[in-house]
Structure 1
Amino acid sequence: MKYFLTSFLVLTLSMGYSQSIQSPSGKISVNFKLTSNGQASYSVNYNSKPVILESFLGVKLKNKPALDANFGIDSVKNSSFNESWKPVLGEQSIIVNHYNELIISLTQKETHVKMNIIFRVFDEGIAFRYDFPKQKDLNYFIISDEVSQFNLTGDHKVFWIPGDFDSNEYPYNETKFSGIDNDKVDLNNGIAAKSIAEKYNVQSPLMMKTATGLYLNVFEAAVVNYPVMHLKADVNDFKLTSVLVPNAIGDKAYLQTPCVSPWRTIMVSDDARDIVGSKMILNLNEPCKIDDTSYIKPMKYVGIWWEMHVGKSTWDYAGSQNAQNNLNQDLVASGKHGATTENTKRYIDFASKNGFDGVLVEGWNVGWEDWFGNWKEEVFDFTTPYPDFDIAAISAYAKSKNVKMIMHSETSGSVGNFERHLDRDFENMVKYNYPAVKTGYVGKIIPRGEFHDGQTMVNHFNYVARRAADYKLMVNSHESSRPTGYGRTYPNYIAAEAARGTEFNAWSVGNPPMHETILPFTRLLGGPMDYTPGIFEIKMSHYNPDKTEQVHTTLAKQLALYVTMYSPLQMAADLPENYEKYPDAFQFIKDVAVDWQDSKYLEAEPGDYLTVVRKAKNSEKWFLGAITDENARKSEIKLDFLTKEKKYKAIIYEDAKDADWKNNPIAYKISTLEVTSKSKIKLNLAPGGGTAISFEPIN
């Protein structure tokens, strides 16, 4: 249902004007103000107490007067909107989109340029954007800066990563706002390309907690034809200012009216569960533009991937040294290539036997000997397999086993080359019955001088999803800019990495135990993450006695991540032989759903713990995931989410009493209980641990 209550106000006296708007519940209010010099500002209250102090708004244009002062108000429009919509895939089958809206129409007195500032106020937060209508005094223009401010009320606790224009693959820092300092970040962290421009720049989404127990989150939504917004932190005055990622010549965005900026968002609540469960970012994006969504289906998959990260095999066919010694000759097999026909069939057999939908294969195509670190433009053609990978035979074999193959298209950052080959890549996928592609963007971008988070690359990531929809294909991007809800508009953009994933545990300092308790409050607000959980052999010394790296969780926590880290595309990332050693624990990965009817966040504290329960779509089965940071945790949960008058078998996968992420990570136990909606279950999580529970109705 949609309803609009609209009023217009044409103002003859606009100087010193103010206007307020509240959320539907009345808890959150925004006050817009136009100062005596025509400068626009806003402030935000929660339960009548300030959370964002007066903060100025505006944009700066290249070779034109800045749109940040000398405005007069033409009109004010108030309206309300309420609808329920159904995502193709999601954490819940129905999403409510309910907000009040305020549109302030402005004209700059000297230039006569018109600009609207639009506010939307939801029960979980607020959003604003700049709207540039079609007009004779502004057609083509270049954004040189955006000066959106977020003036905080104090020295809040913050969870932040550096404002790196090329990578979001950092572990989070937990400090006071005044402690933000990129000079203190350990850059020996395994990241392939780094571009940190300023000491005090951080990335959004920025999660915060005030001394009085309020949770704040500054982010953005619907980033389309615009660069990603980072944030400059004034650590003395506790103020954030928008930072737009530049292109190769320093410009931020090339636009033509009519056009809009992305939404700048602020979530606020006294309950962390409201933040982590919010669908505000999705709601701020346009509805689905794909007519036929029947091909967009959830997938649980395995693949030739982790074995390369742990050193068992390689992506390249010949080995880089072998290739360098044979530059003008045919490549000679090194004997360690992972993507062979035989090995791929082994994974297909494993997927078929255990009910998995797909198999990903990395390193199947020529070019890997020469792909990394050379900033070379034409590395891959995305269609030619290595001699030991028979793509036709593998496709036929997978079809005979009712398994789908997942394409891997690594670009090595050479985006122009990928776009030139994009249609041939997708045609090849259709020919061999690949329903989904995992794209990769490791390294510095070509065109040279562009950043991963700039307007050019944002447009590229979105274009790949749109073009894939023409071929009825799904996209899972890695090393991309972080999603901001575009998956609502193009739901074939099924998942992305866009944060520090599991692989960093195999060959770097890894991801600290608190990492997975922060990501749902940050990265996952914009869309599903392909985090690749499910590692059972935690310590890398299993593969090489000299290696000290490890996954910083217990095995039970790896199971719980299938519930806490939402994605309709979930990988059982470990090797088949490792799952075969722990068949009882592997059962949860086989059972857990990846598309949901409903989700309820039961416990939440960023950086500390998270407990969520989800109901499988078109099923009475529920699944629970609970995780903690480096500290052990005990709690008790009510099962009142279960259907009343029904009995369920609860299969509990939990840490053993002596489990510990560092010293004893594989210790787990499995037990079974009969429960109802009136029951309670005690959770006992080891340091770095977790609990996974499946609830199966008893007929």
Structure 2
Amino acid sequence: MKKLIFVFFILLGTTLSTSQELVSPDGKLKMIFSIREKGMPAYELLYKERQVIKPSRLGFELKDDKRPLLDGFKVVETNTGTCDETWKPVWGEVAEIRNYYNELVVTLLQKETERVMVVRFRLFDDGLGFRYEFPRQKNLVYFVIKEERTQFAMTGNHKAFWIPGDYDSQEYDYTESRLSEISELFDTALTDNASQEQFSKTGVQTALMMKTDEGLYINLHEAALIDYSLMNLNLDDKKFVFESWLTPDAQGDKGYMQAPCVSPWRTVMVSDDARGILASKMTLNLNEPSKIKDPAWIKPMKYVGVWWEMITGKSSWSYTDDFPSVELGKTDYKKARPNGIHAANTAHVKEYIDFAALHGFDGVLVEGWNEGWEDWFGKSKDYVFDFVTPYPDFDVEAIHTYAKSKGVKMIMHHETSGSVRNYERHLDTAYQFMKKYDYPAVKSGYVGDIIPRGEHHYSQWIINHYQYALEKAADYQVMVNAHEAVRPTGICRTYPNLIGNESARGTEFQAFGGSKPNHVTILPFTRLIGGPMDYTPGIFEMDISKLNPNNNSRVNATIANQLALYVTIYSPLQMAADLPENYNRFPDAFQFIKDVAIDWDDSKYLEAEPGRYITVARKAKGTDNWFVGNVNGLDKRTSKISLDFLERGKKYTATIYADAKDAHYKTNPQAYTISTKKVTGKSKLSLDSAPGGGYAISIIENE
């Protein structure tokens, strides 16, 4: 279904009305565009006649330009239209997505400079998207952005779930506070990372989740971040006005533009039900359709891997301790003494392949297989990896042959150590190596400061690198799971080979001191707004000291919570992250990880409150089987749900993996119960979720 209607209003030589209204298809949202004092363009947003965004400024400051694009404008043309279409994602949380919006396009002329700036607004039932467009024109061709001055003026001192604004890292725990408290709490919200730089004590990142005292949920983010810098937000905590704050490059510039060009979409999601934020597909809809003509090679995968044992310190990425430094092509590893704890060796990897084949997993990820890990971290080293040369104890040919015989695919790992220049030098060779040995997916990493030196992880230049690596991967039919890269903004619609991202505080931080128990009840409202997350769930042994006596960290979750993550944190590339021996200790709980789907026909959000709880039901692709996940925050809670999403007249068997009565993320995380019962669409369930706990349910149609 596709319907496109456009209406044009053009009055040449005449200033149009200084106020234009746009209403959402369901009539609940209204956007008002206006030209205010001194010709300043502004917008305002209302929901059910309640103000959500007060009149907020639009525009730019340009470098070395005395006349900013902030005022002196008049409206010379407006276009309105409606789009109603349905499209099918290659993979996703639902089988079909409706893209339904009303549009207003405002063409502005700055009379003094004869420059033209267009603002395109799209109003959906669940929120507003708008972007800047610069058409081809003689008075604005090449220009450098000093700062984008888009504002989001809040109506009060809302509750916010935020992480510090940063040019290099999103790997923070979320802080819940009033807007007025951000500056006071900013320093305590910071945690160490391999690369980070904050810009303001009131700076925060998107996607930013807020809740008003009247119970309205508001989410600020961006969509289609292409050839532009990532947008942070800086808060005036006296007036409660957010303003865009772009990530600078090494010279301090925030964007090199050439007209015709466009900015990313700035998005404001609004709902009086938290579930509406989770269900929104607006971010995807603001991206272009897929550019991959035949996506048959893009296939969701469930995998295990040689990773967690190294994260915890049980094993090592590096092969030897003999070398204080290495030079690729010059260091003779064959003469080195193995350190005895290098995990990526042929025999050990075969054990993981055996485990994957036995339990029906699609793939095995191996990290630390290639030369260079002895001095990769924190050395500002340009030529750190070549992505094709294995250590002496990793037999690429033997692993390839063995995995193929077991029906298991290997997943490649490319750690760049932040040296994107080096990665681009080797990218074709690395992807060709993957094709030769049948690696369908790559996990790329960008740990540490960026090289070229002085660049940030989220500046325009590096954003373009991530896009280049993604598009180059598509040329080789390679799926990409990028870690430490920019947080996603829905680009996976256009390039569905972007099958996963980390780009937030994932499970690894549970081994670095822990994350807050309610962290996973916030991520779907923030990080996952832009696309799936490779959170790497499924940890069953919470006491890290049992893997590494020198590491006293604990995983702040129950086993039932870890199972639920396979449903609540969506990813089409989903890892069972723990060691095989820990799954062998709890085979009945591990069964859920084996059974749960990774691609879906439908998703229902049954309960939701950011920072408190989330309950999601999803229908497995091509079946009538459903899986339910509930993750809980700090307080014990009784979750009551209806199974009315099940097809009427059919009977199902539900297997319920729940917290035991005495379960607690801190004191008794491995206490769980498993029960089965017959259910129908008329059934209702009442289940207790422990602090840091939850439950998982598989609902299988009876034959």
Q: TM-score, normalised by structure 2?
A: 0.97
Cα distance in 1 for partners of 2:132, 2:186 equals 35
Aligned residue in 2 for 1:2: 2
Write the distance in 2 (CA, Å) between the matches of 1:534 and 1:393. Answer: 29
Residues 223 and 286, structure 2, Cα contact 8 Å, conserved in 1: yes
In structure 2, the partner of 1:496 is 501
Q: Deviations over 1:183-242 (max 9, x none)?
A: 643477342111112111111111000000000001000000000000001111101000
Alignment-derived partner of residue 597 in structure 2: 593
1:55 aligns with 2:59: no
* 8 Å CA contact 1:322, 1:334 repeated in 2: no
Mapped partners of 2:388, 2:258: distance in 1: 37
Distance 2:327 2:417 in 1: 22
Partner of 1:653: 657
Deviations 1:480-516 (A, max 9, x none): 11000000000001010000000111122x2101100
- Letter aligned with residue 667 of structure 2: N
Cα deviations by residue, 1:361-380 (Å, 9 ceiling, x for unpaired): 00000000010011111110
Confirm whether residue 569 of structure 1 aligns to residue 582 of structure 2: no
Letter in 1 for 2:614: L
Cα offset, 1:109, TM superposition: 0.4
* 1:221–1:485 CA contact under 8 A, matched in 2: yes
Deviation at 1:139, TM superposition (A): 1.4
1:154 aligned onto 2:159: no
The residue matched to 1:193 in structure 2 has which SS? coil
SS at match of 1:654: strand
Residue 271 of structure 1 corresponds to 273
Unaligned ranges ≥5, structure 2: none
The alpha carbon displacement at 1:10 in A equals: 2.5
1:524 to 506, 521, 528: 528
What is the letter of the counterpart of residue 104 of structure 1? V
SS of 1:3 mapped into structure 2: strand
- Identical amino acids, percent of aligned pairs: 56
Letter in 2 for 1:199: K
Corresponding residue SS for 1:384: coil
Aligned ranges 1:5-16 → 2 under 5 Å? 5-11=5-11, 12-14=13-15
Of the structure 1 ranges 195-204 and 88-97, higher mean CA displacement relative to structure 2 is found in 195-204
Question: How do 1:387-536 and structure 2 match up within 5 A?
Answer: 387-508=392-513, 510-536=514-540
Q: Give, in whole Å, the separation in 1 of the partners of 2:685 and 2:649.
A: 18
CA–CA separation in structure 1 for the residues paired with 2:432 and 2:5: 49
Say if 2:691 is the partner of 1:681.
no
Query: Deviations along 1:604-660, whole A, 9 cap, x unmatched?
Result: 000100000000000111000011111111021111001111110000000000000
Amino acid at match of 1:535: I
**1:2 offset after TM fit, Å?**
2.4
The corresponding residue for 2:258 is 256
Q: 2:249 corresponds to which residue?
A: 247
Separation of aligned partners in 2, 1:544 and 1:8: 67
The structure-2 alpha-carbon separation of the partners of 1:320 and 1:641, relative to structure 1 and needing over 3 Å to count, comes to farther
Where does structure 1 lack aligned partners over 5 or more consecutive residues? none
Deviation (angstroms), 1:112: 0.9
**Distance in 2, Cα, partners of 1:328 & 1:437:** 26
Aligned-pair CA distance for 1:553:
0.5
For residue 615 of structure 1, the aligned residue among 613, 619, 636 is 619
Q: Which residue of 1 aligns with 2:169?
A: 167
- Indicate the SS of the match to 2:319: coil
Residue 16 of structure 1 contacts residue 36 of structure 1 at CA under 8 Å; is this kept in 2?
Answer: no
Instruction: Rate the CA distance shift 1:417–1:324 in 2: closer, same or farther, 3 A.
Output: closer
**Is the CA contact (8 Å cut-off) linking 2:312 and 2:551 kept in structure 1?**
no
Once residues 19 and 44 of structure 1 are traced to their aligned partners in structure 2, the CA distance between those partners, rounded to angstroms, is 12
Amino acid at match of 1:340: N
Give the counterpart of 1:206 among 205, 208, 229.
208
Provide the C-alpha distance between the structure 1 equivalents of 2:500 and 2:184, rounded to a whole number of angstroms.
29
**Are the aligned partners of 2:17 and 2:75 in contact in 1 as well (CA < 8 Å)?**
no
Contact 2:559 2:669 survives alignment (8 Å)? yes
User: Using the alignment, how far apart are the partners of 1:547 and 1:413 within structure 2?
Assistant: 26
> Does the alignment pair 1:38 with 2:39?
yes
Which stretch of the first structure deviates more once superposed, 307-316 or 63-72? 63-72
Structure 2 letter corresponding to 1:529: M
Kindly tell me: are residues 325 and 241 of structure 1, through their superposed partners in 2, closer, same or farther at Cα, counting changes over 3 Å? closer
Pick from 131, 135, 138: which aligns with 1:136?
138
Kept in 2, the 8 Å contact 1:322–1:332? The answer is no
SS class of match (1:37): helix
Aligned-pair CA distance for 1:682 = 1.0
**Aligned residues of 1:485 and 1:526 also touching (Cα < 8 A):** yes
Structure 1 residue aligned with 2:307: 305
Aligned to 1:119: 121
Note the C-alpha offset of 1:140: 1.4
Match of 1:86 in 2: 88
Paired amino acid for 2:8: F
SS of the residue corresponding to residue 267 of structure 1 reads strand
User: Do the aligned partners of 1:378 and 1:417 also contact (CA within 8 Å) in 2?
Assistant: yes
Distance 1:183 1:380 in 2: 39
Aligned-partner Cα distance in 1 for 2:249–2:637: 46
Distance in 2 of aligned mates of 1:636 and 1:187:
33
User: Is 1:368–2:373 an aligned residue pair?
Assistant: yes
| 2:108 matched residue in structure 1 | 106
Question: Aligned to 2:197, which of 195, 198, 203?
Answer: 195
Tell whether 2:345 aligns with 1:353: no
Equivalent residues of 1:15, 1:35 under 8 A apart = no
User: Partners of 1:252 and 1:198 in 2: how far apart?
Assistant: 16
CA distance in 1, matches of 2:361, 2:109: 58
Paired residue type of 1:70: G
Counterpart contact for 2:164–2:186, Cα < 8 Å: no
In 2, the alpha carbon distance for the partners of 1:309 and 1:370 equals: 17
- Please report the TM-score for the alignment, with normalisation by the length of structure 1: 0.98
1:353 partner SS: helix
User: Counterpart in 2 of 1:71?
Assistant: 73
Following TM superposition, by how much is the alpha carbon of 1:265 offset from its aligned partner in structure 2, in angstroms?
0.4
Q: 1:188 to 1:120 in 2, by over 3 A?
A: closer
